Structure 1
């Protein structure tokens, strides 16, 4: 089941599970020692999206931030046990249906194809973020939501 809410409207359990997943993947699995809780979760207009399996286990998460002229998707993460199931792609599609565009994100290069299948294109030179190669990506207001070929990485 897919959910979305501002941080203040999330249950304590949802907040805990989301932060635990983000830390487990971004800090521990990817070995990036940085402040995962960056203060942006509570910004005006920030919307958190998460999905749970029928048994209640958190499967995927992302957040949407409002920036001048665009929405920014970030912190896209799928639980290790849910990777390859389509949970991440389903969550992205659900969030994108609510965003008129343009939408931007910073993609890890290794998963750039995942975002391309969702209508994003590279929009500038690559960069290093915490030792991981990234590219800026953009999805214009007219991009369709049909995933383009292949299976999801999530």
Structure 2
């Protein structure tokens, strides 16, 4: 899968609509979590996404140091439910880590990870930092790159 990287202002209205639809489909509907996804942080982020048949099926948003956490960060990591069996989650994480290195010249990355995905993120060289906490009613852990 090839990934596209855009600032908020570079996104087309169709791309933005597809991103918001995918995030709502997974984070609100599938995970049965009522929360405010549109949080005015998208304007600061770099948006990384992969297309399949002209539809966004994998997505992350990237922040430079200080815009979300002290370190660079990756958030809203999402892959459409029907596309998860193809390894797109691993592909978009690798691409997102590369974006941080290429755009911000940073190696230290912080994420707020859903706890059940701990092993997935560990496979990308993240380690748990601190205790579990609730974010939007879902158990999360802070993870940093090693």
TM-score (norm 2): 0.89
Match of 2:128 among 98, 117, 122: 122
3-state DSSP of counterpart to 1:33: coil
For the residues of structure 1 that align with 2:28 and 2:86, how far apart are their CA atoms?
23
Kept in 2, the 8 Å contact 1:70–1:101? The answer is no
Gaps of 5+ in 2: 101-105
For the residues of structure 2 that align with 1:97 and 1:36, how far apart are their CA atoms?
25
Which aligned pairs between 1:10-29 and structure 2 lie closer than 5 A? 10-29=11-30
CA RMSD of aligned residues (A): 1.1
How many residue pairs get aligned? The number is 137
Gaps of 5+ in 1: 141-154
Structure 1 stretches (4+) deviating beyond 3 angstroms? Answer: none
Kept in 1, the 8 Å contact 2:22–2:57? The answer is no
TM-score (norm 1): 0.84
List per-residue Cα deviations over 1:16-51 (Å, max 9, x = no partner). 1000000111111111111110110012xx201010
1:57 aligns with 2:37: no
Of Structure 1 and Structure 2, the greater strand share is in 2
Which aligned pairs between 1:2-81 and structure 2 lie closer than 5 A? 2-43=3-44, 46-53=45-52, 55-68=53-66, 69-81=70-82
